[in-house]
């Protein structure tokens, strides 16, 4: 499952969808029964893809 929250992870509906989609794919890559939270744009590396954090 991917989780994102507006306005923390996105300023628009399209950005929110992209953030939750990225978190979902990260959860799928990490294995079954996972929840991944989208990374805030402030935490994204400059010029790079967002890093994903696992939910506790």
Contacts of 6 by beta carbon, 8 Å cutoff, 6+ apart: 16
Q: Which two tokens stand for residue 29?
A: 């890559």
pLDDT: is 45 or 13 the higher one?
A: 13
**What is the tens place of the pLDDT at every residue in 16-55?**
888 888 888 888 888 888 888 887 765 555 544 555 555 5
pLDDT at 42: 55
CB atoms within 10 A of CB 38: 26
pLDDT at 43: 55
Hey, which residues does 36 pair with through a beta bridge?
2, 54
């Amino acid at each position: 499952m991917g989780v994102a929250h507006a306005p923390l992870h996105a300023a628009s509906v399209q950005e929110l969808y992209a953030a939750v989609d990225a978190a979902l794919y990260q959860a799928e890559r990490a294995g079954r029964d996972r929840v991944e939270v989208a990374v805030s744009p402030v935490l994204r590396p400059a010029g790079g893809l967002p890093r994903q954090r696992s939910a506790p």
